[in-house]
Amino acid sequence: MKIWYQSTLNFAHHPNYAKALGAHFKRVAGRDTEVVLNGRKTAFGSALGTHDVIGSPIMYHAIVAPAFVESVLAAEAAGADAFVVASFSEPILPELRSLAEIPVVSMPEACFVAAAMSAPRVGFVTLNRLVIPYIEKSIALHKWKDRVSGVHLIHGEISEAELDTKFPDPGPYLDRLVAGAREAIAAGAQVVIPAEGVLGVMAAENGLREVDGVPVIDAIGTPILVAELAVALRERTGVAQSRAAYRAPSAAARALLASDH
């Protein structure tokens, strides 16, 4: 089985994150599963930073959305069995499911499903306030509102690029993550999701599985396991994305998209 794991980040600027992801894939994925790590290939303009893109919906859709259309088409061409949207910003998920013929797994959706199996009340903890509107959008899209206790910002917010530098000495930042989880627990969370990929792999790599008896979801391993399940469901039961919900483009439209990418 081949799983295409697509991040919004350019891993040239996040080497420690990329290394940690590769190691965690080997720990979590099935023996016969290959996880192909992919980041965004293009860099932002010289005057444009990640905050400019994440903080602006129009810039986000101009830069990130086309990259994911290109990536899901590339995944199918490469023979991938499933595609993981590996970002809590959850870019154009309905559109990707409409376009793809293989299962498309969302990182936040997969984590929430796992969390909901653990407890009724789910809390999100994230590293940067710019991520919060995207998490709230996912909560609305998937109709989770009644089961979410809150979205909590870790004190001393930090960018993904800055967090990448903390992997060699993660202790101080992990202490801040634990403090954020405790805030979520105090607000009613019975299970906690570290809501960003780089945050999730730092927690998982350092064995942070619970805080004060409350489970912490593995935000990296969980989407891989759900992708394996999605492939098995399709092969063994025929379940795939519903075309009543995610209408497929015409052959002509699909060919046009492929020619553009």
Dihedral of the alpha carbons of 89, 95, 96, 101, in degrees to the nearest 10: 160
Starting from the edge strand earliest in sequence, which strands make up the sheet with 191-194, in order?
148-153, 122-126, 191-194
CA-nearest of 173, 169, 168, 171 to 155 is 173
Question: Residue 46 pLDDT more than 60?
Answer: no
How far apart, in whole angstroms, are the C-alpha atoms of residue 37 and residue 22?
7
pLDDT of 142-195, one tens digit each?
Answer: 999 999 999 999 998 888 888 888 899 999 999 999 999 999 999 999 999 999
Nearest Cα neighbor of 66 from 102, 95, 35, 103 is: 95
Residue 120 has pLDDT above 70, yes or no: yes
Q: What number is the average pLDDT over the span 44-58?
A: 69
State what percent of residues in the chain have pLDDT above 70: 96
Dihedral sign, CA of 232, 117, 35, 37? positive
CB 203 within 8 A of CB 219: yes
- Average pLDDT of the residues in 90-112: 96
At 34, is the pLDDT very low, low, confident or very high (cuts 50, 70, 90)?
Answer: very high
* Torsion sign across C-alpha atoms 233, 234, 237, 239: positive
Q: What is the DSSP string of 50-83?
A: HHHHHT-HHHHHHHHHHHHHHHHHHHHHTT-SEE
Mean pLDDT computed over every residue of the chain: 92
pLDDT of residue 26: 96
In order of start, what are the domains of the chain with their CATH numbers?
2-107+221-260 (3.40.50.1860), 109-215 (3.40.50.12500)
Cβ atoms of 3 and 33 within 8 Å: the answer is yes
Q: What is the mean pLDDT of residues 68-84?
A: 96
